[in-house]
């Protein structure tokens, strides 16, 4: 089997890491893959390191009609059995059109749960023979938008649990961020964009800082909101308690050193950082929205709160911060939950089953 994968992301954020997990797993299953991605992207370099063939194509976003023809040429040259599109940013629509013009079966992975315009739903999704939702929450959104049930499959994102089993190097960790030896440390891992909800977390911090003078919040990630968040931190006089730590590629070393993870996103398809944190044995406070309840079971491996509620967020964090035994118990439950339901092998075999079913059974008809 030959599969051509399209990934428009340039950075190794959650979605691109899932593509790498899949490429590596398919390679072990004897599947021949070609990754098509933008020039100079981090995912291209990482794919080459594991021995996957890469072709770099310019991808200009939603209005880049020329991408159809560039992908069409690549598809004709590579002659795959299947095209798997992993991204939006125009790659989904253009990739679907290119595969359709070449007469090649195609699959689209949907990783976000934000609603789309009805006209886009009607035009885009029928181009694909299967649509893989990476959480049941996303599958529910797609079904409500009118995507045919026979096209929809849920294959959840995965995490390499063993990567997050490292022991914390406490001296290194404290030195990295200038932390006191007895600091109580929360982490947030997400792009600095509005829907990730950082502003609500910062609004909850003054109450928490008064109750827990040793508390420190590390916000990992980069994005357009950095300057606004800096201004909010200053306005709330939170400089001693909050650090904008930027994007880090060493989360397997960092996460085991945290006391808990908080993810106040207003919407989230699933949340790879939740899977990573649970694998590292961290309790989690997240929002009861999208696919997040699939990764965080309320009262088992974390606490769920309504999106945008500063009071509820502060209450949940307070409960975990004051109870070390509860944090430990939830952390252990989360690690076991990841091993049972979110393994890389399970995700790879789930995608491969979609491929085989599609290639064996013929096209889906409207």
Share of residues in the chain with pLDDT > 70 (%): 98
Supply the angle between the helices 310-321 and 324-341 in degrees, to the nearest 10: 100
Give the count of alpha carbons within 13 A of 344, CB side only.
19
Contact (CB, 8 A) for 104 and 82: yes
Q: Which tokens go with 226?
A: 């950095």
Is the predicted pLDDT of residue 364 greater than 50, yes or no?
no
Is the predicted pLDDT of residue 37 greater than 80, yes or no?
yes
- The DSSP annotation for 119-178 comes to HHHHHHGGG-SEEEESSHHHHHHHHHHT--GGGEEE------GGGG-PPP-HHHHHHHHT
Mean pLDDT across 14-41: 94
Is the predicted pLDDT of residue 70 greater than 90, yes or no?
yes
Q: Which tokens go with 72?
A: 């069409």
What does each C-alpha distance from 55 to 4, 75, 231 come to in angstroms?
Answer: 10, 11, 42
* pLDDT averaged over every residue in the chain: 94
Residues 6+ apart with CB under 8 A from 272: 13, 14, 15, 17, 18, 157, 159
Q: How far apart are CA 115 and CA 107, in angstroms?
A: 20
The residue ranges of every structural domain in the chain are 2-158+343-361, 162-341
Element (H, E) at 34: strand 32-37
In this predicted structure, what is the pLDDT of residue 361? 59
Q: Give the architecture (CATH level 2) of 2-158+343-361.
A: 3-Layer(aba) Sandwich (3.40)
Same fold, 2-158+343-361 and 162-341: yes
Residue 115 binned pLDDT confidence (cut-offs 50, 70, 90): confident
Instruction: State pTM to two decimals.
Output: 0.84
Q: Which tokens go with 356?
A: 């085989």
Residue 228 binned pLDDT confidence (cut-offs 50, 70, 90): very high
Q: What homologous superfamily does CATH list for 162-341?
A: Glycogen Phosphorylase B; (3.40.50.2000)
């Amino acid at each position: 089997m030959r599969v051509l994968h399209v990934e428009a992301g340039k950075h190794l954020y959650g979605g691109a890491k899932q593509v790498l997990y899949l490429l590596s797993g398919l390679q072990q299953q004897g599947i021949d893959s070609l990754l098509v991605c933008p020039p100079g992207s981090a995912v291209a370099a990482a794919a080459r390191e594991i021995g996957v063939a890469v072709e770099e194509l310019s991808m200009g976003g939603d209005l880049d009609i020329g991408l159809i023809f560039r992908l069409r040429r690549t598809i004709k040259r590579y002659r795959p059995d299947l095209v798997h599109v992993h991204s939006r940013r125009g790659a989904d629509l253009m990739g679907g059109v290119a595969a359709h013009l070449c007469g090649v079966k195609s699959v689209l992975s949907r990783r976000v749960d934000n609603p789309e315009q009805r006209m886009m739903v009607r035009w885009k999704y029928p181009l694909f023979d299967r649509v893989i939702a990476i959480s049941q929450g996303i599958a529910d959104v797609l079904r409500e938008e009118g995507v045919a049930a026979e096209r929809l499959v849920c294959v959840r994102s995965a995490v390499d649990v063993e990567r997050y089993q490292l022991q914390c190097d406490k001296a290194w960790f404290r030195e990295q961020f200038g932390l006191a030896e007895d600091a109580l440390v929360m982490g947030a891992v997400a792009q600095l964009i509005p829907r990730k909800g950082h502003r609500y977390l910062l609004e909850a911090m003054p109450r928490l800082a008064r109750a827990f003078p040793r508390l420190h919040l590390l916000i990992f990630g980069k994005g357009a909101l950095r300057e606004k968040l800096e201004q909010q931190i200053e306005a709330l006089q939170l400089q001693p308690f909050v650090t904008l730590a930027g994007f880090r590629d060493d989360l397997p070393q960092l996460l085991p050193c945290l006391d808990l993870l908080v993810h106040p996103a207003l919407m989230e398809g699933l949340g790879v950082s939740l899977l990573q944190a649970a694998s590292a044995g961290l309790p989690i406070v997240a929002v009861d929205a999208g696919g997040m309840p699939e990764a965080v079971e309320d009262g088992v491996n974390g606490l769920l709160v309504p999106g945008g509620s500063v009071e509820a967020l502060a209450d949940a964090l307070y409960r975990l911060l004051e109870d070390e035994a509860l944090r430990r118990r939830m952390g252990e439950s989360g690690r076991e939950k990841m091993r049972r339901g979110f393994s890389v092998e399970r995700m790879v075999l789930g995608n491969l089953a979609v491929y085989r079913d599609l290639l064996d059974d013929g096209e889906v008809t409207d």
